[in-house]
Amino acid sequence: MKRIVINTQTEEKTEETLTSEEQAVHTARAAEVAKVQYKSERQYAGSVTYANVGEQLDQLFRDVAAGKFGADAQTGEWYIAIKKVKDTNSKP
């Protein structure tokens, strides 16, 4: 990985190779950015996002009222809606 250094007085550009420590920092920052982006897209900005908490609780209530427990819970409204968001916005 390289960086470009610009001398502000001469405007001369040079390329430097990042040290292994700098590369590790860059990689760690990129991983953190990916986590934040994943969370944001899943909650607010993605093509498929979580419903508001009130709607999620209503879905859970309807599932419980319909007797969806155990393995049957995976066919309930809430589970299907949450799974769709998680599948659409896979973890980095």
| pLDDT tens readout for residues 50-66 | 888 999 999 999 999 99
pLDDT at 13: 92
Measured CA to CA, the distance from residue 32 to residue 16 in angstroms comes to: 25
Strand intervals (E) in 1-92 = 2-6, 13-17
Low-confidence ranges of the chain (pLDDT < 50): none
Please list the residues that pair with 3 across neighbouring strands.
Answer: 16
pLDDT at 17: 92
Measured CA to CA, the distance from residue 28 to residue 35 in angstroms comes to: 11
Contact assessment for residue 59 and residue 77, using Cβ atoms and an 8 Å cutoff: yes
Model-wide pTM > 0.85: no
Tally the residues of the chain.
Answer: 92
pLDDT at 41: 77
